[in-house]
Structure 1
Amino acid sequence: MTRARQFGLPLPGLPGPHNAITDVPGVEVGYTTLTSGDGPLRRGGGPVRTGVTALLPRGRAGAGDPCAAGIHALNGNGEMTGSHWIAETGALTLPVLITNTHAVGACHRGAIDWALRERPDAREWMLPVVAETWDGYLNDIGGDHVRPEHAVAAIDAARGGPVEEGSVGGGTGMNCYGFKGGSGTSSRVVEHGADPYTVGVFVQANFGSRAQLSVCGVPVGADLADDNPMEDTDWLGLAGAGSVIVVVGTDAPLLPGQCAALARRVPLGLARTGTYGQHSSGDVFLAFSSANPGAISTGFPVGEPGYDALRFVPWNRIDPFYEAVVQAVEEAVLNALLSARTMVGRDGHRSPALPHDRLKELLAARGVL
């Protein structure tokens, strides 16, 4: 697995120890990856190139304790279940799942199954957060290969520490800028006075057309036009069709409105990689703060009426966190592209890996490497 900094890209900002969303204390990431079969599409029989990603804001131990959260959609051709309740209450309670477009229902059921297994005494409503991007170029997306137990397995597999990137989990069958895309992550350390905090980002990158790709400010897409099977045929019909899901997490104490403001900065990081946000793309973003445990009450009331209290970063000190989001989003997309390897899927459809040597030549010619 090659990452952007290992590749030599001069990216700004100070990452955390793993340069991943798991640098945010308590955050865990898990995958279920499903790959099988080759050759012509047989609906329900494959080939299968898909999976599920699970992100647990407070880890398994803290599931059920709401986090402050906010959402933003740059372009709404996509789905993120549970988003209305997040917008209403500013709270995120359950694990976040990311999968393919046609597997949202299975993962939604799986999240409920997992929660009931862990909390058999639960009596409140559950509105799981499941987001999606479309992997139908490589995957038998209509074949119902993702089942509820795969969502449960992804949650059970969630761990802290280094995070695998590229063609794993929900990102298994995804494409980005006409290359193989998928899962990517990055983080930044932000100093707030004497207190260091971490902003982490996770992306499921499945967006952009080849000509748009920019790396470290260098528009390289036009010079990488060769070997572009996804866009050189009329099978897809529209270059750049796809989506991107981004989850931003931080341990900085933020209000729900501030989390939404972080989510609104995600498109600035995506734009640094070249995209302008296309009509056919579902670009949906979620941001949460894992600070203030136990401070948000959204379920059935218990006991005498009282008050919730949140400690938060002042609005006039929020800019460094915005900058961290933009930097980490850009790097997470590049990590997904550089980590992914060429994949062949349904009907022989091929998604080529970003050519590392040619990219180095282009960047060196512009003085970037």
Structure 2
Amino acid sequence: MRPRARALPISLDGATGAHNAITDVPGVEVGYVTLTEGTARTGVTAILPRGRDGVGTPCAAGVHSLNGNGEMTGVTWIEESGALTLPVAITNTHAVGTVHRGVIDWVADKHPSLAEEWLLPVVAETWDGYLNDINAPHVRPEHAGQAIDAATGGTPAEGSVGGGTGMNCYGFKGGSGTSSRVVEYVDRSYTVGAFVQANFGSRAELTVAGHRVGPALMDDNPMASRTREGAGSVIVVVATDAPLLPGQCKALARRVPLGLARTGTTGSHFSGDIFLAFSTANEGALTSGFAAGEDYEALRFVPWGRMDAFYDAVVQAVEEAVLNALTAAGDTVGRDGHRSPGLPLERLTRLLTRAS
């Protein structure tokens, strides 16, 4: 077990939730299937906005793409309707179709009434072809359902798990990471949580708590001669229980790049950077008129002029989620002996101590 970022001498802003994870948002659950046999270094991550029993109950949602060199299915319907109703799945680039089919199979089995209409699952990807034999059929449709069935609250595992199993970040082993922030608003507290599948950035860019440490860690970079600098992609899912409009969820998603930039990236052409944000408030709205007897629907929302604290929370949580993915993931060897080194935590600690 490697420590999370806050266990190191890293200065991070904001107050976290109990688990410092996207699962601090009530109802949100995360599940994984991790595949590491033979040439497989891949898997599936499932994020359930309202748990398994809440599948089909819409959440307000919005999406934003910093760079479209990647894929997130189902986003045109989110743009049109402002609603997210199904589990979100994240996997590798060449398994998107397989996982899409698997999510549909799971919904048809567990919630058959939903499958009587149409299903447009959100399935996102990043490229794990350096460590994983990405063209092999390692990921099967049933793995999507298994990840959904494995979803729980609490503190999710981080690093080389689920869809993040074969991913790399800033020339080190990357993968899955998460963090959360608590926002005090009027007379109550809301939570903003972020989950990242981190597979982006070049080694020289790496920045930790404002300190550019990458140039001091340029040795032991076996990926440098085998992959494009900065290539790979990053998917970020942001969740909150604050009552927001779909357009305000989109505004949260637009702040994700600011959190990523704190870790050093400038957004490579070869990195697909796609973000989804949703709100679990206003349960029962955004049903597309399927709610029996309801001719009108209403949304309660935070005034636009009071959104800044939620923007802050997104930026802070995304930054820390990336760092948690990096600190959690250790040295990994994949297909054809390809090796991805874990972020050297002792050297990082010395660099940060000297810089402070």
Where on the TM-score scale, by shorter chain, does this alignment land: which range?
Answer: over 0.9
Map of 1:104 onto structure 2? 96
What do the CA deviations read for 1:13-33 (whole angstroms, capped 9, x no partner)? 000000000000000000000
What do the CA deviations read for 1:253-308 (whole angstroms, capped 9, x no partner)? 00000000000000000000000001110000000000011111126x46556101
For 2:262, the aligned partner's letter is: R
Q: CA RMSD in A?
A: 0.9
Map of 2:111 onto structure 1? 119
Provide the C-alpha distance between the structure 2 equivalents of 1:54 and 1:31, rounded to a whole number of angstroms: 6
- Is 1:244 the counterpart of 2:237 in the alignment? no
- Is 1:94 the counterpart of 2:91 in the alignment? no
TM-score in terms of structure 2 length: 0.98
Give the one of 35, 60, 70 matched to 1:68: 60
Contact 2:231 2:271 in 1 (8 A): yes
Provide the C-alpha distance between the structure 1 equivalents of 2:145 and 2:276, rounded to a whole number of angstroms: 21
Q: How many residues align?
A: 354
Q: How far has the Cα of 1:121 moved from its partner?
A: 3.1
- 1:184-223 aligned within 5 A: 184-223=177-216
- Is 1:130 the counterpart of 2:131 in the alignment? no
Provide the C-alpha distance between the structure 2 equivalents of 1:310 and 1:303, rounded to a whole number of angstroms: 18
For 2:100, the aligned partner's letter is: H
Give the one of 241, 248, 258 matched to 1:258: 248
Provide the C-alpha distance between the structure 1 equivalents of 2:113 and 2:63, rounded to a whole number of angstroms: 30
Give the one of 292, 296, 302 matched to 2:286: 296
For 1:229, the aligned partner's letter is: P
Provide the C-alpha distance between the structure 1 equivalents of 2:76 and 2:151, rounded to a whole number of angstroms: 26
C-alpha change, 1:302 and 1:224, in structure 2 (3 Å) is closer
Provide the C-alpha distance between the structure 1 equivalents of 2:84 and 2:238, rounded to a whole number of angstroms: 12
For 1:271, the aligned partner's letter is: A
Gaps of 5+ in 1: 38-46
- 1:114-193 aligned within 5 A: 114-122=106-114, 123-193=116-186
Provide the C-alpha distance between the structure 1 equivalents of 2:198 and 2:291, rounded to a whole number of angstroms: 42
Provide the C-alpha distance between the structure 1 equivalents of 2:71 and 2:297, rounded to a whole number of angstroms: 31
Map of 1:320 onto structure 2? 309
Contact 2:10 2:352 in 1 (8 A): no
Provide the C-alpha distance between the structure 2 equivalents of 1:36 and 1:163, rounded to a whole number of angstroms: 22
Map of 1:78 onto structure 2? 70
Provide the C-alpha distance between the structure 1 equivalents of 2:68 and 2:113, rounded to a whole number of angstroms: 36
For 2:288, the aligned partner's letter is: T
Q: SS of 2:351's equivalent?
A: helix
Give the one of 275, 288, 297 matched to 2:265: 275
Q: SS of 1:36's equivalent?
A: coil
Provide the C-alpha distance between the structure 2 equivalents of 1:307 and 1:169, rounded to a whole number of angstroms: 40
Contact 2:183 2:190 in 1 (8 A): yes
Q: How far has the Cα of 1:6 moved from its partner?
A: 1.2
Provide the C-alpha distance between the structure 2 equivalents of 1:156 and 1:144, rounded to a whole number of angstroms: 21
- Is 1:59 the counterpart of 2:35 in the alignment? no
What do the CA deviations read for 1:77-104 (whole angstroms, capped 9, x no partner)? 0000000000111100000000000000
For 1:139, the aligned partner's letter is: N
- 1:321-360 aligned within 5 A: 321-360=310-349
Provide the C-alpha distance between the structure 2 equivalents of 1:304 and 1:202, rounded to a whole number of angstroms: 37
